[in-house]
Each structure stands twice: as structure tokens, then as C-alpha cells.
Structure 1
Amino acid sequence: MNHNTSSNPAVFVLSLDTELAWGNFVRVKDPLKKTQMFRTRYCIQQLLDLLETYNIRATWAVVGHLMLDACHPDENGVKHPQAIRPAYSWHPGDWFEDDPCTSLQEDPLWYGMDIVNKIRSCAVPQEIASHSFAHQIFGDPGCHWACADTDIRLAVFAAQALNIQMDSFVYPKNSIAHQTVLAKYGFRIYRGEGTEWYNRFRHPLLRKILHFLDDLLAVPPAADTLHRDNDNLFYTNGNMMYQSMEGLRKLIPLRARVRKAKMGINKAVAQGKIFHLWLHPFNLASDPTRLLAGLEEIFKHVKNLEDAGRLVNLPMRELPAFFGIKPDPADVLINEGTANYIR
């Protein structure tokens, strides 16, 4: 079911997958990528400055472990013993084996309470959403229901400790599964798999090639609607990922990225739909000056359309209310071992 009509004003949504080392355990061992990770905090601050300048409210999907300033193994040396481990065929070891179990001061790529505080102190209110606790891939067969349940529970607890209420969820790798767990913990909306045409192809290499060509040629992205799934959760599909300038992506001109985003926004305005742009702050670190300049051009376009009354900018959590859908008063959860967690 979708909840948009052509009479609705268009909506611009920006979601930011904030992961640091949790996004890819192999990447953090690569010297170049590790340098980019250390540069990510600078990119986040510059991005927050742009959001303030253009009055953009974004949804920051933060890995729950980044909400910690420290963690320690238990008396048996087990890291995060409350977490049921996934059993991925491609990751035979303990999912937490690379977690240093130290502190923000000692290992800032694994902790990010300072980042969360920066987001919360932004002059333009930002949404903090969940990107899971430990970036497990929910749609993989190795992540069973109990594994997803403990991961999301830990993410919710980490947010509760900072007095953060999370209503929105972004799946790691956009791998959608276990929506019943989201509903159990009071989430109302998540980002869907995406509307990109090349995702219909199953072969990973073919998808990557088509994705590259799609960006290189600035193929106009689709606009989309607000949907509701069988678990009574809403979802808004991503329409365009703002890519890094790493590897072959260096060949994609900045103007192509900006033009592509503007075309998607214009299509949403023409159709009264949602345009959902998303990115990883880490990717900005591949060329901060140029990529942030490109985002600024996109934000200027959003601001001009907002000033003309043709577009509104919303975080994910506000989409259902914007389209006139009231929250369910039964959305109350009492978490085991904690105070009431009320939505």
C-alpha cells in the first residue's frame, strides 16, 4: 500500500549511513581506507555545517556501537555476550572478533559518542535513527530471528542510555528482513531496498557495472511513494546513493552526480512524490572538497524549491504524519530488564 497522491507536495529525504569501522571489517585494515575513516569526522562536521546553512533535516542512521564511549569483555573474555552471533558462510569467525573492546579515546574508529553529540547539537534538528547495533546483514540466511532480535535490542538500549528515541531504521547493506523485530521494538519506518533499475539483476558484478554506467550517464532516478508492509511498518525506498570518488568512481564527473540528484528532485516535484537521497559520510572522505561542494549544489536546489513552496524536507520519522497517518496508540513496548520504552 502506498500513501502518496499527485496532489501531495514533493518531499526531499536525506539519510546518512554512519558506520566507521563497523561498515566493513576488512576495510579498516587497509591503510588508505583507514586514513579515510579517520577523515570521516571532519566530513561529518562539514556536512553538519552545510545542513545548518541550508536548513536541511537529515536522518542519521547510526550503528549502535558508535553510541558507546567504551565497552569491555565479560569475565570469560566474551565480547558483548548478550548478542547472539550470526552464522554467515562468508564470515566463519566471531562477528565481534575485531571489536577492540576499549574506548573512544583508544580506538575512535569503533566508537562514536562524540559524533552523536555533534549531530544532536546541530542548530537544525536532526533525526538519529538505527543502523543496527553491529552492522549485521539481516537478509543473509546466517542472521536468524533471534540474532536480529538481540542486535536491535542492544541498539535500542545504547540509544536509551543517551535518551534517544529511535523511530526509523536503515538496514545494513539495504538487506531487508526480520521486520517483525523492528515492530517489536517500536520502530515505525525503515528505508527500503531502493528503486534503482539495475537492482533487478541478480549477478553482483553485472549490478556494479550497470550501477557505474547509471551514475556516469546521470540516468534520471525514480521518485517514489511512502509504503506500508505486512507488519504495519512504513518504508521509503532509497532513490539515489551519492557515491564516493574512490577507484573507478573517480571517472564519474561531479556534475553528473549533481545533475542526477536534481533530476530526481525535479521528478518528485512534478509527481508529488518522495525523493530519497542517501550516502555514507565515510564516502565523502574519498574527496571531501569536491563531494561536499556537490552536496551543497544539491542543497541549494532543495532550498530554492522549498522557498518556492514546491518541496518540503523531512526526516524519515515524520513521513507518516506528513501524509496524515496517525501513530498507533498500541505501540508500547516494555523491554526486558529496562524501563518502559514508549513510542
Structure 2
Amino acid sequence: MVAAVGSVVLSLDAELGWGFHDLPEPPTDRVESGRRGWTAMLELLEEFDIPATWAVVGHLMLESCDGVHADHPAPDGWFDRERGEWQDREDLRFGRGLVRDLLESDVDHEFASHTFSHVLFGRPETDRELAVAELERSAAIAEEWGCSFESFIYPRNDVGHRDVLAEHGVSAYRGWTPNREGVRAVFDSMVRDRSLLVEPFVDEYGLVNVPASLFLFGFEGPARSVAESIWEDPMVALARCGIDEATTSDGTFHMWLHPNNLTTERDDRRMRAILSYLDRRRSDSDLVVETMADVARRIRCSRGVDGEPTRIDAQAKASWN
């Protein structure tokens, strides 16, 4: 293990409507909760001064568009919902104010990429041309805002075209770890005592893979209600286990979620419990809270390669309005 002390990483897939636009029946509660959850998470992270990696869909940063994207090599019908059912739902298609709030936060969050339009990189129909277009459009929009990104989070954790990421200057991505959510995660950790820690590593393309440890909203519905009635929120218990393990081991505990997972105050309470516990453990141990870019920099430096932090050009902030 590279780390000298344990660390915790929190990453968020910030997408609003783009996370669901290709689904036949998008989940209404989550579609409508994207903006609320985004703001709630920013406020909670500021309250506990916890930096996170926010992977933002590039389209959210546009001021407007015609919904056609004629020069984009997407599959036929990819933008149908934007120019049809959601044509008048700018709140789902754009999020400049939310992105501005993120970049202006007092907490040193990492700005990362979640593609331009939530294209699934691992699908057969996503060819190299499309992957390049998604990445280049995201980078160009970020540059207009005075931003750049080192880290990349694959929509729906559908990994693919890592060579394209490497060629376009990406340093890190969130790799997918099977069986790290839902009932299976609870069983493996609580019953089989399986570790929740992961070991980031440099892959064959020179990218740092920061694998996911735990999806924080993988135990929902009736099962969650039953568990809470006889015990406690199982995801809070799992998160505490991972945080505790990171305080005593040279490993990384990588939690992740979508802002749209926070659909009610009940979900807010889950995140408050996790973040407050992380803050306490950070205060009474050597535990370090890192972003994905921090992890990549640490590992690259251990290999004799310097990493540069993601920077925001203050002079560009005037253009955000």
C-alpha cells in the first residue's frame, strides 16, 4: 500500500437530468431531487469542512443550447428527451448556478468530469470518436469557466476508452468494485468481516484507478425501513466501519453517491451522520480526507512523477454570471 496513513475519499456524480435522460421511465423522485440534493450536499460538506470530488456533466455548464447538437457524434435519439419532453425543463438540463456554488465554496472541492452528456463509455455503441467528443467538449466548457479537471468518473461506472482519458490529460478515474453495495455489502462487511478498503493503483494506461469502496445509497426501500426499525441505518453503520478501518490501516475508503440520492430529509440525516462521524475520526486520529486528484498526486509522487492540483482561474469567475 502506498499511503502512509489511512484516507477517506468521497466522490459525487453531479448530473441533474442527464443521469436519466436515456431511460424509458426516469425515476421521478430522483429527477426532481437533483438540485435540492446538490445544495444539501454542498451545505453539509461546508458544515464539516470535508472536500469531495464532484464529477460534473459538462452540459450543465452551458448557458443555453438548441437541443440538437448537430455536430456531436452521438447515437441517433441520444438528445431526444432534451429537445422533446424536457425542452422546457431548463432546471434539468442546465445548472450554471449550482456549478458556480460548487466552485465558489469555501471547501477545497475537486472539480472533475462526468462527460459532456452522460454517455456510457463501456457500451458497444460508444466508439472512440464519441468518447473523444464527450471529453473534449467537457474540457472546452471547463476552460471557458477557468477550470480544468484531473479526474474522471464514468457514468453508471461503465468503464471504457481509458486510452482516450490518458491521451487527454486525465490522471485518475473511479474504478468499479463488484459487490460493494446493497445487501451484499452489508453481509460481506458485517458478517464475513470483509475489508471495505481499496488500493488505488496505476493501470496500464498510466491512469490512477481509485476504486469505489461503497455506494452510500445501495440499501433502500422496505429493506432500509426494516433495518432502521430494528437496528440503525445500515449504510451509516457500513460507512462508520470503513472510516474506522481507514484509521487503523494504510488503506483508502472511497464512498460515493449522486446528489439526487438525497430525495428527503431522511437521506440528509444519513449523510449528516456519516460526515459528522468522519469529521470526528479525522480529529482524533491520523486519518486523512482526500480527493481523487489528491490520491493520484500522492501515488504519482511516490513513483517519482509530480502532480499538479486542479486550479480555478479567479479572473474567469466574472464570466460565470
User: TM-score, normalised on structure 2?
Assistant: 0.84
Give the helix-richer structure, 1 or 2.
2
Equivalent residues in 2 for 1:199-238 (5 A)?
A: 211-215=181-185, 217=187, 219-220=189-190, 222-238=196-212
Identity of aligned residues (%): 28
1:24-76 deviation line (CA, Å, top 9, x unaligned):
2255855xx33543332222212111111111000011111111121125xxx
Pair 1:315-2:291 in alignment: yes
Residues in 2 aligned to 1:9 and 1:59: alpha-carbon distance in whole angstroms: 20
Q: 1:114 aligns with which of 85, 92, 97?
A: 97
Structure 2 match to 1:262: 240
Structure 2 match to 1:186: 169
SS of the residue 1:192 aligns to? coil
Are the equivalent residues in 1 in contact too, given 2:186–2:238 (CA < 8 A)? no
Shift of residue 255 of structure 1? Answer: 2.0
Equivalent residues in 2 for 1:119-138 (5 A)?
A: 119-138=102-121
Structure 1 match to 2:266: 290
Shift of residue 279 of structure 1? Answer: 0.3
Are the equivalent residues in 1 in contact too, given 2:182–2:218 (CA < 8 A)? no
Letter in 2 for 1:234: V
Residues in 1 aligned to 2:261 and 2:275: alpha-carbon distance in whole angstroms: 18
**Runs of at least 5 residues in structure 2 that lack an aligned partner in the other structure:** 308-321
Are the equivalent residues in 2 in contact too, given 1:104–1:112 (CA < 8 A)? no
Structure 1 match to 2:214: 240
1:88-110 deviation line (CA, Å, top 9, x unaligned):
xxxxx421222239999852101
Q: 1:133 to 1:248 in 2, by over 3 A?
A: farther
Residues in 2 aligned to 1:172 and 1:54: alpha-carbon distance in whole angstroms: 27
Residues in 1 aligned to 2:221 and 2:86: alpha-carbon distance in whole angstroms: 32
Letter in 1 for 2:49: N
1:90-135 deviation line (CA, Å, top 9, x unaligned):
xxx4212222399998521011111101111211121110011111
1:138-158 deviation line (CA, Å, top 9, x unaligned):
111111111111111111111
Shift of residue 136 of structure 1? Answer: 1.0
Are the equivalent residues in 1 in contact too, given 2:115–2:154 (CA < 8 A)? yes
Q: 1:41 aligns with which of 27, 35, 39?
A: 35
Residues in 1 aligned to 2:248 and 2:149: alpha-carbon distance in whole angstroms: 32
Are the equivalent residues in 1 in contact too, given 2:213–2:255 (CA < 8 A)? yes
Equivalent residues in 2 for 1:270-281 (5 A)?
A: 270-281=248-259
CA-based RMSD of the aligned residues comes to 2.7
Structure 2 match to 1:19: 15
Are the equivalent residues in 2 in contact too, given 1:69–1:104 (CA < 8 A)? no
Structure 2 match to 1:139: 122
SS of the residue 1:292 aligns to? helix
Residues in 2 aligned to 1:147 and 1:296: alpha-carbon distance in whole angstroms: 39
Q: 1:238 to 1:70 in 2, by over 3 A?
A: same
Residues in 2 aligned to 1:70 and 1:81: alpha-carbon distance in whole angstroms: 15
Shift of residue 224 of structure 1? Answer: 1.0
**Runs of at least 5 residues in structure 1 that lack an aligned partner in the other structure:** 74-78, 87-92, 200-210, 330-343
Shift of residue 185 of structure 1? Answer: 1.4
Structure 2 match to 1:160: 143
Residues in 2 aligned to 1:124 and 1:242: alpha-carbon distance in whole angstroms: 21
User: TM-score, normalised on structure 1?
Assistant: 0.79
Residues in 1 aligned to 2:273 and 2:213: alpha-carbon distance in whole angstroms: 18
Shift of residue 261 of structure 1? Answer: 0.7
What is the aligned residue count?
Answer: 298
Structure 2 match to 1:149: 132
Structure 2 match to 1:80: 69
